[in-house]
């Protein structure tokens, strides 16, 4: 099981606990709804179960695949849907910061996106960055690189964590040449 599958399984287990329903019961709810499009099912799950966007999107995609295993080209959960789930509700204004950081990273070249429950892990041969909302008011960018002196902005993290550094972004103007240089250094070191 890869990391995305493992994260999805954990998220589904949490949905079961919060909803008080088994996956079989949740799938039956989807089947009984008569809905067939991912977005319609997602919206129904949000409305009926009070799920957040991300949880509803994961459950909708999983239910569609489970209930329709022979259908080719099923609508699946896209990274865009997951990111929309990260920045839903009070965090929605932060999505522009996320998009600007990702646009800059895409200029560097190829990398893999490994979505997690609340953030994206960005990888080459190994993880070079983590990007997702830290609070309702900021986006956290974790960076893996060595030998860079910390600053008031580039916070050095405790050893043994997922990243060595963190930058807290509250405004898209903070995606500036200094930040881009740090991201590029992390990107290059993960080759």
CA–CA gap between residue 105 and residue 109 (Å, rounded): 8
Q: Is 82 a member of any domain?
A: no
Domain count, the chain: 2
Q: Which domain holds residue 175?
A: 90-189
Instruction: Verify that 61 and 105 share a domain, yes or no.
Output: no
Last residue of a domain, one of 45, 77, 109: 77
Q: Is the dihedral of CA 18, 22, 24, 25 positive or negative?
A: negative
Cβ contact 144:127 at 8 Å: yes
* Segment (H or E) for 169: strand 165-169
Last residue of a domain, one of 29, 52, 77: 77
pLDDT tens digits for the chain (191 residues)? 555 566 677 888 889 898 999 888 998 899 899 888 888 898 999 999 998 888 888 888 888 877 765 544 444 566 776 787 788 778 889 999 999 999 999 999 999 998 887 899 999 999 999 999 999 999 999 999 998 999 999 999 988 888 999 999 999 999 999 999 999 999 999 99
Cβ contact 130:141 at 8 Å: yes
Coil, strand or helix at 114: strand
Q: Is 179 a member of any domain?
A: yes
Instruction: Verify that 143 and 67 share a domain, yes or no.
Output: no
Q: How many CB atoms lie within 10 A of CB 72?
A: 5
Q: Is 14 a member of any domain?
A: yes
Instruction: Verify that 73 and 121 share a domain, yes or no.
Output: no
Q: Is 84 a member of any domain?
A: no
Instruction: Verify that 155 and 118 share a domain, yes or no.
Output: yes
């Amino acid at each position: 099981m890869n990391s995305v599958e493992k994260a999805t399984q954990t998220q589904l287990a949490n949905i079961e606990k919060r909803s008080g329903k088994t996956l079989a019961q949740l799938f039956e709810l989807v089947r009984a709804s008569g809905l067939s499009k991912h977005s319609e099912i997602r919206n129904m799950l949000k409305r009926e179960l009070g799920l957040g966007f991300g949880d509803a999107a994961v459950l909708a995609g999983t239910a569609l695949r489970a209930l329709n295993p022979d259908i080719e080209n099923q609508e699946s959960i896209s990274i865009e849907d997951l990111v929309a789930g990260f920045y839903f509700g009070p965090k929605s204004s932060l999505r522009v910061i996320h998009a600007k950081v990702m646009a800059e990273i895409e200029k560097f070249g190829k990398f893999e996106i490994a979505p997690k429950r609340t953030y994206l892990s960005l990888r080459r041969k190994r993880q070079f960055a983590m990007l997702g909302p830290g609070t309702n008011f900021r986006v956290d960018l974790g960076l893996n690189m060595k030998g860079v002196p910390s600053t008031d902005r580039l916070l050095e993290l405790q050893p043994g964590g997922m990243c060595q550094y963190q930058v807290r972004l509250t405004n898209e103007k903070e995606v500036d040449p200094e930040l881009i240089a740090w991201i590029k250094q992390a990107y290059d070191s993960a080759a």
